[in-house]
Amino acid sequence: MDPRLVQGAILVGFGYLLGSLPMGVIVARATGGIDPRTVGSGRTGGTNALRAMGAKRALVVGLLDIAKGAVPVIVAIAAGADPLIQALAGIAAVLGACRSVFLRFHGGRGVATGIGAMAVIQPLVVVLGAPVFFGIIWLSRYVSLGSLLGSAAAVGILAIFVALGFNQAAAMVYGIGAVALIWIAHADNIGRLLHGQERKFDFFDRDPA
């Protein structure tokens, strides 16, 4: 068997397993906080962790979720893997974040993990996409809408970079794959947004209803 295929499979598998680590649950258990699966959306990411545990622990969750997207790509680069394998390792981490093998294939929405991988693949996309993400949340108070449009903007920016020769096409594979997973994970949010039923986010609102 081709050693490169074996290496690629290991790196992609590592990305999925690391991405599957439910940081919201881990932080809650380690610090005596409320399990984010029991409040709000029931997801394990930073937004729901904020509702369940407050700002400090939610920040830790967010940073760990970013790290579990960045690390598989960094490891793939360090291993000398092909750019496509680097992209697939990042996509696998996002998949794990959304469909964790440790949570019976439930999890978060994959946004922070996707940002972490993108920050390694092309950090300028994160810098340019951040104003869209935060601006939409600020104006609408819908984290889901900011995540959806911010991720879509990131793909558009990445496409421009690839067209201009700043990145290889493999980076676009990551962008499309990761954003597709993020949008799928937001399917219920999209339905609520379309019907005007999505819950607006208030930083000071920790009511789990």
Distances (CA, A) of 190 to 126, 131, 142, 195, 204: 23, 21, 11, 9, 24
Expressed as residue numbers, the domain containing 165 is 3-194
pLDDT given at position 207: 42
Residue 199 lies in a domain: no
pLDDT given at position 202: 67
Whose CA is closest to 209, among 51, 53, 55?
51
Residue 50 lies in a domain: yes
**Quick one: which H or E segment has residue 101?**
none
For residue 89, what is the DSSP state? H
> What whole-number distance in Å separates Cα of residue 136 and Cα of residue 143?
8
**Tens-digit pLDDT profile for residues 54-102:** 889 999 999 999 999 999 999 999 999 999 999 999 999 999 999 999 9
pLDDT given at position 41: 81
pLDDT given at position 51: 87
Q: Which residues sit opposite 100 in a β-bridge?
A: 106
Average pLDDT over residues 131-160: 95
Q: Give the CA radius of gyration of the chain.
A: 17
pLDDT given at position 63: 97
Residue 209 lies in a domain: no
> What whole-number distance in Å separates Cα of residue 26 and Cα of residue 174?
27
* pTM of the predicted protein model: 0.92
- What is the count of structural domains for the chain? 1
Distances (CA, A) of 50 to 66, 75, 99, 127, 208: 16, 30, 20, 23, 10
With beta carbons less than 8 A apart as the criterion, state whether 93 and 113 touch. yes
pLDDT given at position 209: 31
Residue 201 lies in a domain: no
When comparing pLDDT for 204 and 185, which is higher?
A: 185
Residue 204 lies in a domain: no
Residue 200 lies in a domain: no
Is the confidence at residue 208, as pLDDT, over 70? no
Residue 108 lies in a domain: yes
Q: What is the mean pLDDT of the chain?
A: 92
Residue 24 lies in a domain: yes
**Quick one: which H or E segment has residue 39?**
none
Specify the 3-state DSSP secondary structure of 100.
Answer: strand
**Tens-digit pLDDT profile for residues 21-54:** 999 999 999 999 899 998 878 898 888 898 889 8
